[in-house]
Amino acid sequence: MKVLKFGGTSLGSSSRMKALIPLITSEKQIIVVLSAMSGTTDTLVEIINLLNQNRKMEAKKKICELEDHYKHTAEELFDSQVYIDTGIKLIEDHFQDILGFTQEVLTKLQEKAILAQGELITSVLFHQMLKEQGINSGLLSALSFMRIDKEGEPDNFYIKENLNRELIKHKKNQVIITQGYICRNAYGAVDNLKRGGSDYSASLIGAAIHSEEIQIWTDINGFQNNDPRYVTETRILRELSFNEAAELAYFGAKILHPNSIQPCKESNIPVRLKNFMNPDDPGTIITNQITLNGIKAVAAKDRITAIKIISARMLLAYGFLRKIFEVFEIYRTPIDMIATSEVTVSLTIDNTEHLEEIKKELEKFGIVEIVYDNSIICIVGDFIAEKNGVAVKILEAIREIPLRMISYGGSSHNISVLVKSDYKIKALNLLNKELFEITK
Ligand code: ADP
Ligand code: ASP
Ligand code: MG
């Protein structure tokens, strides 16, 4: 059974939702994973921020606007008055829940419950739409099987057991709809898989049922060799390996949630990226096949903080790096890039939640300098194939850009450079011109 995930853009309006019907009815039996309609989760985040600032009137206004948007969608989505009324009633119930949270100070648990509403409402409307069209479908709540453990990691055993048990109830449904992004935590409360997490939901589901293929449908033909938001002349990559895709997703290629590759890689399930506006295009296929052909793609990750630790004591001292890494381990903060010299260690992080504490700890070892607002530009490919000259080619392409750090040799398929974010777009375009133009 295939798993098809449709993101917010594919569900952006009633006409877009209706246009998905032929895509999902052409398959035998499928699981459809849905995000919230585009913009919904952003609006829910704004509502939470307003409530946390005690700006209740503004929060309520935003809630009403969002409710109106959904009601308007329902009016267009359904043909008959009976379904319009049912849809509107379902929407009102969910918005009553959201309004219920405006009475008191929000807890973290309540914030998560608000964030879950987008996927809950969208999936219920989508299910009603299929029902009205006479399509044999069932709604399977992700909250009945998707769970994270105390560390915030997916509880794969629980997911597999519960999903496969729930699926028995849907044996006769051709389309089984569920929500992406939302889950329960180890204590049973509503939680989520972090922003953009519907892709991750789809791959966890695919792995749990040993799916034949996971399809991520969005608004672009597939994985591009550069970020289409900043570079106009991008090219589609027809094939990618799991490692290449994971690296690009981790370093900013928004088309895929960074965690979504691991479950598919472990179970060797192909991931196909497809465009709902151009369904005949085969898109990009991600498998464990490595295609050897030099520099493949470029991606950029923003909001990177660079930390430099300068210590004369580092000279010839063993155990120094361990002590530094321990600080990051204690504060559960992943390090992306690292460069060392005799007296300094430079590294980058993107999670600054514990930066103050980390800085204090690191100051025990030397002078600590922090630089905000950097971007990691990551160049992915198979660099063994190129043997020599590849680093020169990359650095030559961006010779005008001041580089703060360079990472080469960590893996055979990634070269990364750190630049101030102001230079990101220029760097992406220069790399595009110099690295890909000849092969176009
Ligand atoms: P969805 O709402 O379907 O989850 P997203 O906005 O999360 O869609 O992801 C799709 C977007 O990712 C595309 O519209 C594109 O602008 C952006 N993107 C960034 N990097 C890439 C890339 N390398 N290839 C394709 N799309 C990319
Ligand atoms: N709706 C969620 C978000 O906007 C999850 C997703 O779209 O994947 O982050
Ligand atoms: Mg997305």
Of 201, 218, 235, at which residue does a domain stop?
Answer: 218
Beta-carbon neighbour count of residue 393 at 10 Å? 16
Range of the domain at 421: 296-438
Instruction: Tell me, in angstroms, the distance from the centre of ligand 3 to residue 428's CA.
Output: 21
> CA-CA distances (angstroms) from residue 319 to 250, 322, 323, 339?
29, 5, 6, 16
Q: Which helix (H) or strand (E) holds 65?
A: helix 56-77
The pLDDT of 355-373, averaged and rounded, is 95
Name which of 153, 188, 152, 193 is nearest 33 in CA terms.
Answer: 193
Identity of the residue numbered 151: E
User: Pocket of ligand 2, candidates 181, 190, 217: which has the most ligand atoms within 8 Å of its Cβ, to mutate?
Assistant: 181
> Which residue carries 């922003």 as its tokens?
195
Q: First vs last Cα of the chain: how many Å apart?
A: 36
Give the pairing of strands 30-34 and 137-139.
unpaired
79 shares its domain with 205: yes
Range of lowest pLDDT (77-86, 217-226, 294-303, 431-440): 431-440
pLDDT surpasses 60 at 341: yes
Burial 152-172 (b: 16+ CB within 10 A, else e): eebbeebbbebbeebbeebee
Instruction: State the Cα–Cα distance between residues 104 and 427, nearest whole angstrom.
Output: 47
- Taking alpha carbons only, the member of 221, 129, 146 closest to residue 189 is 146
What's 423's domain CATH number? 3.30.2130.10
Pocket of ligand 1 (CB under 6 A): 7-10, 35, 196, 218-220, 223-224, 227-229, 253-255, 299
Euclidean distance between CA atoms 340 and 308, whole angstroms:
10
Query: Which mutation among 195, 204, 214, 255 tests ligand 2's pocket best, with the greatest number of atoms within 8 A of CB?
Result: 195
**SS3 (DSSP) at 138:** strand
Looking at 218, 252, 282, the residue that finishes a domain is: 218
The answer to whether the Cα torsion of 280, 284, 290, 293 is positive or negative is positive
- Above pLDDT 70, what percent of the chain? 97
157 in a domain, yes or no? yes
Q: What is the pLDDT of residues 255-283, one digit of tens each?
A: 999 999 999 999 999 999 999 999 999 99
pLDDT at 410: 79
Is the pLDDT at 177 greater than 80? The verdict is: yes
CA distance 86 to 93: 11
- The CA-based angle 387-391-396, given to 5 degrees, is 135
Q: Where does ligand 2 bind, in terms of residues with CB under 6 Å?
A: 7-8, 35-36, 41, 118, 180-181, 195-198
Q: How far is the CA of 349 from the centre of ligand 1 (A)?
A: 23
State how many domains the chain has: 2
Question: pLDDT (tens digit, 9 = 90+) per residue, 40-94?
Answer: 999 999 999 999 999 999 999 999 999 999 999 999 999 999 999 999 999 999 9
Q: From the CA of 181, which ligand is nearest?
A: 2
Query: Are 121 and 10 in the same domain?
Result: yes
pLDDT at residue 222 tops 80: yes
Select from 218, 234, 258 the last residue of a domain: 218
